[in-house]
Amino acid sequence: MSGHFDTMQVCLKGHQITARYTKSPQFRQERCEKCGAKTINACQNCNAPIRGYYERPNVISLCGTETPLYCHVCGKAYPWATRLKIRENLKIPAWIKKAIKWAGHNLVTIIISIAITVISAVIIWNLGIK
Ligand SMILES: [Zn+2]
Ligand SMILES: [Zn+2]
């Protein structure tokens, strides 16, 4: 037996309200509790239901369902697509975060090392001139 998609309810800013709109109507909300925006559960362009949790018989998935950016029927971007895409692009890679954290801990050492390097360079350069 194959599965089927439940419907997802999302606020206009892209906060997912529920991925089981049909199965668990108790999670439906008129407004988003995070930002107060209106919620929708169907494409505003073609009225196709937003794809939510993929329901399969005898399978319980604990993974969250990702909020889609485009309608799977008409292909139009949902109102939150731009916002979520920007957020996706702003994600800083873990190694940069680590580097920033490390730099924060060692800021004084780094500044002193740079200062020493610059001063030495200037002295060496001055000596070379003479
Ligand atoms: Zn919201
Ligand atoms: Zn659509």
Mean pLDDT lowest among 50-54, 98-102, 110-114: 98-102
C-alpha 12/C-alpha 9 separation (Å) is: 10
Beta strands per DSSP E along the chain: 4-7, 9-11, 16-18, 39-40, 51-55
Closest ligand to residue 73's CA: 2
C-alpha 24/C-alpha 7 separation (Å) is: 10
pLDDT at 13: 95
Instruction: Please give the distance, rounded to the nearest whole angstrom, from the Cα atom of residue 95 to the centre of ligand 2.
Output: 38
Q: Which residue has the higher pLDDT, 87 or 36?
A: 36
C-alpha 105/C-alpha 99 separation (Å) is: 10
Closest ligand to residue 15's CA: 1
pLDDT at 84: 87
Residue reference for tokens 């919620």: 39
Return residues with CB closer than 5 A to ligand 2 (ion): 43, 45-46, 48, 71, 73-74
Instruction: Please give the distance, rounded to the nearest whole angstrom, from the Cα atom of residue 118 to the centre of ligand 1.
Output: 50
Check: CB of residue 52 under 8 Å from CB of residue 20: yes
pLDDT at 93: 82
Give me the chain's average pLDDT, please.
91
Instruction: Please give the distance, rounded to the nearest whole angstrom, from the Cα atom of residue 20 to the centre of ligand 1.
Output: 17
Closest CA to 31 of 21, 18, 43, 17: 17
Interval 28-78: pLDDT, tens: 999 999 999 999 999 999 999 999 999 888 777 777 899 999 999 999 999
Instruction: Please give the distance, rounded to the nearest whole angstrom, from the Cα atom of residue 15 to the centre of ligand 2.
Output: 19
Closest CA to 3 of 51, 59, 63, 71: 59
Please report, to the nearest 10 degrees, the dihedral formed by the alpha carbons of residues 19, 21, 23, 29 taken in order: 110
User: What pTM, to 2 d.p., does this model score?
Assistant: 0.67
Instruction: Please give the distance, rounded to the nearest whole angstrom, from the Cα atom of residue 31 to the centre of ligand 1.
Output: 8
